A and B are shown apart, each in its own frame.
Chain A
């Protein structure tokens, strides 16, 4: 069974600094996708970044980058130059294939950016 683990319930970072949010996953499948979502207090789940299991390069999207280490089964999210608006819950998720209806989510990490 798939399992997503986020070991940091809460993280603090100073404004303008970089922060890494950890995510490890467990699957026996070879084809899968890894995702990160941001959820502000308003509730909306905002898609941030995607990494395919066969992608050789780490995904980047603006200030977000994904540190993908396939052998270690980790997919850490790096946020550079943190902003106050980055304060939110962050969820790591995995989907095995396009035909796998369920996207499995981790428990989330609450990030607080300090001014």
Chain B
């Protein structure tokens, strides 16, 4: 059983809809991420939260809006998406430390949310 859970697993939405993806991590980690995986493209980092503060936003369109209410939960709010936004959205978490260790560097992923925009 994965330590990072995502809901819903599948979502179909129209371009005018508003929906949200939810992520919860049960690992006690201090950093959470949203990644986008499109067909035939490498994983793209969208957002990073460390200690509940956003530390990185890789020029993601404003129709994607993240929210991190606490260290265990992460949301991705979706609004007026385009068909090209259809992809697998992966949530992840890690316990980031200054030292070098497997636990301090590994990013653990959830099962992903398959999004289709029609």
Contact = CB atoms under 8 A, between A and B. Distances in A.
A101 B13 CA distance: 30
Interface string A74-115: 000000000000000001000101110111011100000000
B106 to A, nearest CB: 6
A44 B45 contact: no
Interface string A39-82: 00011111100101010000000000000000000000000000
Interface of B is mostly: loop
Contacts of A99: 96, 98
B43 to A, nearest CB: 5
Contacts of B97: 98
B112 A45 contact: yes
A44 B98 contact: no
A44 B110 contact: yes
B12 interface: no
Contacts of B2: 44
Nearest to A50: B102
Given A33-B105, A107-B42, A101 B100 contact: no
B107 A103 contact: yes
A34 to B, nearest CB: 10
Contact of A31 (B55, B58, B100, B111): B100
Nearest to B95: A98
Given A35-B106, A97-B100, 6 more contacts: A44-B110, A45-B92, A50-B102, A54-B100, A101-B55, A105-B42
Interface of B: 2, 31, 33, 42-43, 45, 48, 50, 55-56, 58, 88, 90, 92, 96-102, 104-112, 114
